[in-house]
Amino acid sequence: MPAKVFLIAHSYNPVKTVAQAAKLCYSSSNIEDLGNNLTDEKAKDFVQMLSDLGHESPLEHASFTFGIEGVSRALLAQITRHRIASYSVKSQRYVSEKMFEFVLPPEIEEDEHAKEIYLNAMQSAQQSYDNLAAILTENHTKKLMAEGKDEKSARKAAVKLANEDARFVLPNACETKMVVTMNTRSLLNFFKHRCCNRAQWEIRAVAEQMLTEVCKVAPELFAKAGPSCAYGPCCEGAMTCGKAKEMREKYKKILNNAE
């Protein structure tokens, strides 16, 4: 299943918000006056100046919230390494994984033998999960009833307790959904690392979708977003992919398509 990214919400007028916060650093005027005199064009020019100066802290005042679906638990482990962010994730404790969806890596899908092995592994994991959940549900139900709960209440509580342990057999491929909020500065860092050709294919695809979405509403804030090679030297050193020219063209198109 392909990943889907939705821009759920963002700061009101993010470009002007960043510009107003930045102007305060260089002005003795009160905050209200700074906002009243700040036109959209002036805000764009000021954001450009911030980029040229490398003044990044005002970028933290504008945030963006994404809905992300059709991604693996392996991606979840990667994206949560970006710690200046907020995450809400579908729980495997409260949501049963009966007939769980999973992500099929393209390289595996292209090889019939590899795909067969992979699908068998997913089926085996599902069977193990279902069997464990059923056994543990019965065990917990009996214990809870022995403690005085009625059968209906005991079984309802037992299902959640069973899910806690049955989920341990689920694979990294298991599909999950999440809501992610990052401020602009964190997003720029995220794009720098995860849009890079050396990033894992799944999180790179998600990062590119996220970048496309934010460029639609605030292209000025993300005029230099993407891997470092798209706007300057590659930061990967000896590990560079050697495709800086192609990357510059690719990210130029992403920005132009958003305008």
Q: Is 81 a catalytic residue?
A: no
**pLDDT at position 176:** 98
Average of per-residue pLDDT values in the chain: 92
Kindly name the residue from 73, 167, 185, 194 that is annotated as catalytic.
194
> Judging by DSSP bridges, how do beta strands 86-89 and 175-183 pair with one another?
antiparallel
Residue type, 129: Y
What pLDDT score does 91 carry? Answer: 95
Residue 127 CA, distance from chain mean position: 29
Per-residue pLDDT, averaged over 45-64, amounts to 88
Give residue 259's pLDDT. 57
pLDDT band at 26 (very low <50, low <70, confident <90, very high): confident
What pLDDT digit, counting tens, does each position of 89-128 carry? 999 999 999 999 999 999 999 999 999 999 999 999 999 9
pLDDT confidence of residue 230: 87
The pLDDT score that the predictor gives to residue 233 is 87
Residue 258 pLDDT: 63
- What percentage of the chain exceeds 90 in pLDDT? 72
d(CA 158, CA 166): 12
The CA dihedral of 162, 166, 172, 173, to the nearest 10 degrees, is -90
Which percentage of the chain shows pLDDT scores above 70?
A: 97
pLDDT digits (tens, 9 = 90+) for 220-241: 999 889 999 988 888 888 888 9
More confident residue, 198 or 258: 198
Tell me which of 258 and 86 has the higher pLDDT.
86
Which residues touch 140 (CB under 8 Å, ≥6 apart)?
A: 154, 157, 158, 161, 162
- Evaluate if residue 86 carries a pLDDT over 70: yes
Our measurement of the distance from residue 104's CA atom to the centroid of its chain's CA atoms, rounded to an integer in Å, reads 18
Can you give the pLDDT at residue 2?
85
Three-state SS letters, 187-202: HHHHHHHHCCCCCCHH
**pLDDT for 28:** 64
Residues 169-206: pLDDT tens digits?
A: 999 999 999 999 999 999 999 999 999 999 999 999 99
